[in-house]
Structure 1
């Protein structure tokens, strides 16, 4: 029996033990590692682990006590999670505190065991907004393997394919397209399921998606480094021959976040973000699209196109880690494809500006809006974008606090908007809860209603939204609003979105809110040691429209149509998925409404309008109805007199008596 062993170095590391012939089947080729470290300043896992810091006994007690305060006093989903998942994280924290009380610096368990228990307690609630964030040196680092594995369906069978290799990494026959069959000797589907159970997720689809991601990427601020120093991957090459690869874990610095969730700002208070998805998205960009990272972090402004995209062309964006925009040719026609990778931005208006600019340069016959893998971010950004896709008025999703004395203290301190974070709408119901016994406050939107409707519709073609189980937080809210307002069909590659419908605040933000505008001497929040942090779901989100009042958490968005990702999707830029979306767009009515206006000194407003699929136009000037006219496809002119000093004009288009398009602009 003979086998061959090839050892290649991925990055400086300690030598691995030799692989013996006797340990392997005769038809396996074993490779150890591959060439090149794709993330700068990477080190082997073992070297990183030996540099981990040490928390004192007193520091551990502080962390546990603050976690108790956060979960008992602020966590909006605690009753729901205890009921749905039969867990009691508060009691587990009390037990951990009791055990620590019997220990000293000399007798306490290793720090890794403390972090493992804290992480396990937070993971038990299966809430990706409620996290224990590990301290230095874990925070900001990512453990990774230099490739990505994705699930697809081929011939009715589930398969796991290597879809991407990091730039500069090559180790034939382990290349894009090989099929992974076993992970550390475990059948791959079972390995994914086990991984999903470890790394949380609100529903089965979310757990499996999370489990797949965690095979190759582990953000260390949320998860301890892997226990194993290397992974053994069994796979089939293009010819169906079996091989094994022994791949060491590496640890390197991740791309920094694009928004500060700890600063006491409107952006931080309006955050709905899954840290895991956000960290993984930035790490993947670093591994597989480093030039996009360089462009995003560069001070040099990208030179962007000003003319519509030709068929098959890709547009340059000023936010390459946020958007990808291109014109795609499908079996049903040429449509726009806009991928939104994250809503995690500081400036929601700048986000919407770029969103509108890109959609207006893409084909107007239909838009495939793709939010797969988007972990959320600024809730304003997600809900501000909805208005640009529909003629109807947007009702932002309302949110509720859980009524506790601590939440009431925070809301009372900011009921009069002393720091720009206005919590006044929730104060009265929370104060009355002492008498009424209500578990939750009244529900009000985080996103300003005026801001959610200020711009109005800017894309009048049909739109399909593509989702997966990695959609969380602000993306869940965006998908819910898209569905609740009937903007278009939702095409899912999984059975649900991630189902993380909440506004999330950090421990640091809560601490600062009770210290502004003046210190609260009764504040229970204490500074966490060594850069440790925590986050909690502070306000739960409710649906509007036909599902008004239904919570998003644990339920998510069920798509209107399903598409199983194929091998061609995984390896050929989603060609079958785009064809499926194109087929839906082809069935939808096409609308066009373009508008230019001029106002002369005599108060006469002249509108030049181009329409398609519209039968009637109604004209409103400064909110008042001024004209109504029947139209046919093509160009027409509408004149409105006696409107001197007018500021805004809104034109609404109707077909079959229904509002189907609208355009609002300054005169």
Structure 2
């Protein structure tokens, strides 16, 4: 005879439906519930939908450089999916066509299938420029018991019982949080598993509606362990508000838009986080993203003052292994790459010279020039910018022919001859040529002489992937990764608007241009030129492969809640184990005699060049020495190259 089951009563879980509070940010005050926002969306006609599908087919078939790679690696066929969708739309009428949000979701799903965050369907108004958000952020950390998901930020004015930074999320709408993040990552796929998981977690609470479909649910039920250890449950409604404006008009013919390597999803989220959680920076920039201020300001008490508070954060960090410099680069999305490089140089010079931590986590990229111009400042070696290729197609050939002799605008001449020959040779890709001018990438040379550690994660993408690849390929320093790969986005990205403009400017416009104006502010983006590695991995694509770190650090609870303390300590340990060089150089010119004084550490030989002509090679014992060089005129460029055991380890320049 079976025994009756014994039931053990469990403490009731506390559930909170949050009421609004009086303290809110400007964005929170302007936010509207998701259902209210969606009720006003949806004005595309059937003809406009057909046009969007047709233009998507055109760009993916004729402009998309990664189509062969993606079809092979991910076993996808976006062209056939678009053709099927076009046939189904053709059978619909204005009365029978599906709801507009379903159309947008189908288009987004097709673009997401290629797992390329450069290649996007951008939703029209009212979605463009809007973000859907929950008023908190969740980040992952690890300890001896496994992984944990913690609340790390809340919007000002948001309150819930025992809720705030440090509360641990266990379930998302009843699904274990790790599983919920993974499922979400599959929907908004990155180029590799690390990127999938990172983006899946981030998109649980923040979605730019220009690039991601609105949430299916009107609200979320969050189960969490409160700050006092109690079991809690929170029901929170999705809201929609306006995001900060982008830095660059990506449709305009400008050097910035043509040289853009930007993950729009990360850039939109970065601006949204700033709007929701870092209001002091928004106020300093007066609402203009990545603004360059006329006077340097410090956002935090321990930070160095900077003219670009939305781009850089620089400070000294004290670790168990010494005191080092730390520069966080939030974005490369700037208009002036030289100003970016120069501000990096100024900040690095004001920090300790015995070691520098360059932290590019969460950086979705931006101006490719800015990323590659900055590499030279940390190495004595000449920078070779990453070369890029078009895919061979009749439309890309037309674009390059029209702009092959355009040195003052977007010059596509370096790629024209190879594309022209591809018709006969059957070559899949054009010749590989750099976007970044090599002279600009080597204009000022090395300015920081201590060891450097680069910190990356799976949300590094595009121009940031290019920066990380260049850092590795030129052996500038060591790489410390929070994840086991970067986001693996290796391309220059152009919009439909820019492509259309390129066939219409300079006048006269091309009357046979296949690009048609898109309705309601909709847009499309594609990877137009793929990037290739240099150095030992020369010719290897960055896309899908990314840059793997030398050392991996799993984020801890202390990292999330106490300023990355363990991460920075790990970087400090790496810096302390690396050699520290010094190459002091002072000059004085009397008549035509230049006196050069050298003060070095960790260097046993210095070669001197005047206007790139060899002048002298000196073996050093460590003591300062003075050298006289005759027949020198003012304004010549002196370069001193320092060697250790035959390896070039430092280089300094000075004008006579």
Q: TM-score, normalised by structure 1?
A: 0.93
- Checking the alignment, whether the CA contact within 8 Å between 2:136 and 2:155 is kept in structure 1 is yes
Residue of structure 2 aligned with 1:547, choices 531, 537, 556: 537
Query: What are the Cα deviations for residues 305-351 of structure 1, in whole angstroms up to 9, with x where unaligned?
Result: 89xxx9x9320111111111010000100000110010011110010
1:344 matched to 2:336: no
**Aligned twin of 1:3:** none
1:652 matched to 2:641: yes
Find the aligned partners of 1:513 and 1:450 in 2 and give their Cα distance.
26
Moved more, 515-524 or 200-209: 515-524
Find the aligned partners of 1:608 and 1:150 in 2 and give their Cα distance.
52
Q: What does 1:73-152 correspond to in 2, within 5 Å?
A: 73-152=62-141
- Checking the alignment, whether the CA contact within 8 Å between 1:302 and 1:317 is kept in structure 2 is no
For residue 302 of structure 1, report the CA deviation from its aligned partner. Answer: 6.0
**Aligned twin of 1:27:** 12
Q: What does 1:185-584 correspond to in 2, within 5 Å?
A: 185-297=174-286, 301=293, 303-304=295-296, 313-417=302-406, 420-518=409-507, 519-584=509-574
Find the aligned partners of 1:498 and 1:300 in 2 and give their Cα distance.
27
For residue 646 of structure 1, report the CA deviation from its aligned partner. Answer: 4.0
- Checking the alignment, whether the CA contact within 8 Å between 1:622 and 1:646 is kept in structure 2 is no
Find the aligned partners of 2:265 and 2:423 in 1 and give their Cα distance.
37
Secondary structure in 2 aligned to 1:109? coil
Find the aligned partners of 1:362 and 1:93 in 2 and give their Cα distance.
53
For residue 226 of structure 1, report the CA deviation from its aligned partner. Answer: 1.0
**Aligned twin of 1:164:** 153
- Checking the alignment, whether the CA contact within 8 Å between 1:206 and 1:497 is kept in structure 2 is yes
Query: What are the Cα deviations for residues 388-440 of structure 1, in whole angstroms up to 9, with x where unaligned?
Result: 00000000111111000011111111111165111111111111111110001
Find the aligned partners of 1:25 and 1:227 in 2 and give their Cα distance.
32
Find the aligned partners of 2:416 and 2:234 in 1 and give their Cα distance.
58
Unaligned runs of 5+ in 2: 1-8
Find the aligned partners of 2:281 and 2:609 in 1 and give their Cα distance.
43
Moved more, 162-171 or 250-259: 162-171
- Checking the alignment, whether the CA contact within 8 Å between 1:378 and 1:474 is kept in structure 2 is yes
Secondary structure in 2 aligned to 1:233? strand
Query: RMSD of aligned C-alpha atoms?
Result: 1.8
- Checking the alignment, whether the CA contact within 8 Å between 1:75 and 1:402 is kept in structure 2 is yes
For residue 639 of structure 1, report the CA deviation from its aligned partner. Answer: 2.5
For residue 490 of structure 1, report the CA deviation from its aligned partner. Answer: 0.7
Moved more, 135-144 or 281-290: 281-290
Find the aligned partners of 1:301 and 1:221 in 2 and give their Cα distance.
28
Q: TM-score, normalised by structure 2?
A: 0.95
Secondary structure in 2 aligned to 1:261? coil
Find the aligned partners of 1:201 and 1:65 in 2 and give their Cα distance.
25
Find the aligned partners of 2:582 and 2:470 in 1 and give their Cα distance.
23
Find the aligned partners of 1:636 and 1:105 in 2 and give their Cα distance.
85
- Checking the alignment, whether the CA contact within 8 Å between 2:296 and 2:308 is kept in structure 1 is no
Find the aligned partners of 1:90 and 1:152 in 2 and give their Cα distance.
40
For residue 636 of structure 1, report the CA deviation from its aligned partner. Answer: 4.1
Secondary structure in 1 aligned to 2:441? coil
- Checking the alignment, whether the CA contact within 8 Å between 2:457 and 2:482 is kept in structure 1 is yes
Query: What are the Cα deviations for residues 250-283 of structure 1, in whole angstroms up to 9, with x where unaligned?
Result: 1111111112211111211111000111111111
1:55 matched to 2:40: no
For residue 26 of structure 1, report the CA deviation from its aligned partner. Answer: 4.1
Secondary structure in 2 aligned to 1:31? strand
Secondary structure in 2 aligned to 1:352? helix
Find the aligned partners of 2:220 and 2:506 in 1 and give their Cα distance.
52
**Aligned twin of 1:590:** 580
Find the aligned partners of 1:435 and 1:666 in 2 and give their Cα distance.
51
- Checking the alignment, whether the CA contact within 8 Å between 2:162 and 2:228 is kept in structure 1 is no
Secondary structure in 2 aligned to 1:480? helix
- Checking the alignment, whether the CA contact within 8 Å between 1:429 and 1:441 is kept in structure 2 is yes
Moved more, 632-641 or 36-45: 632-641
Secondary structure in 1 aligned to 2:95? coil
**Aligned twin of 2:3:** none
Find the aligned partners of 1:546 and 1:348 in 2 and give their Cα distance.
27
1:72 matched to 2:55: no
Find the aligned partners of 1:418 and 1:586 in 2 and give their Cα distance.
46
Find the aligned partners of 2:638 and 2:648 in 1 and give their Cα distance.
17
For residue 145 of structure 1, report the CA deviation from its aligned partner. Answer: 1.0
**Aligned twin of 1:9:** none
Find the aligned partners of 2:265 and 2:447 in 1 and give their Cα distance.
33
For residue 175 of structure 1, report the CA deviation from its aligned partner. Answer: 1.1
Structure 1 pair 100–320 and aligned structure 2 pair: CA distance change class (3 A)? same
Runs of 4+ in 1 over 6 A off after TM superposition: none
Query: What are the Cα deviations for residues 70-129 of structure 1, in whole angstroms up to 9, with x where unaligned?
Result: 000100011111111111111111111111111222221111111011001100100000
Moved more, 159-168 or 484-493: 159-168
Aligned residues: 639
Query: What are the Cα deviations for residues 23-49 of structure 1, in whole angstroms up to 9, with x where unaligned?
Result: x97431111125344324211111111
Unaligned runs of 5+ in 1: 1-23
- Checking the alignment, whether the CA contact within 8 Å between 2:607 and 2:642 is kept in structure 1 is yes
- Checking the alignment, whether the CA contact within 8 Å between 2:532 and 2:542 is kept in structure 1 is yes
Find the aligned partners of 1:551 and 1:300 in 2 and give their Cα distance.
33
Structure 1 pair 96–277 and aligned structure 2 pair: CA distance change class (3 A)? same
- Checking the alignment, whether the CA contact within 8 Å between 1:313 and 1:328 is kept in structure 2 is no
Find the aligned partners of 1:392 and 1:483 in 2 and give their Cα distance.
13
Moved more, 258-267 or 627-636: 627-636
**Aligned twin of 1:175:** 164
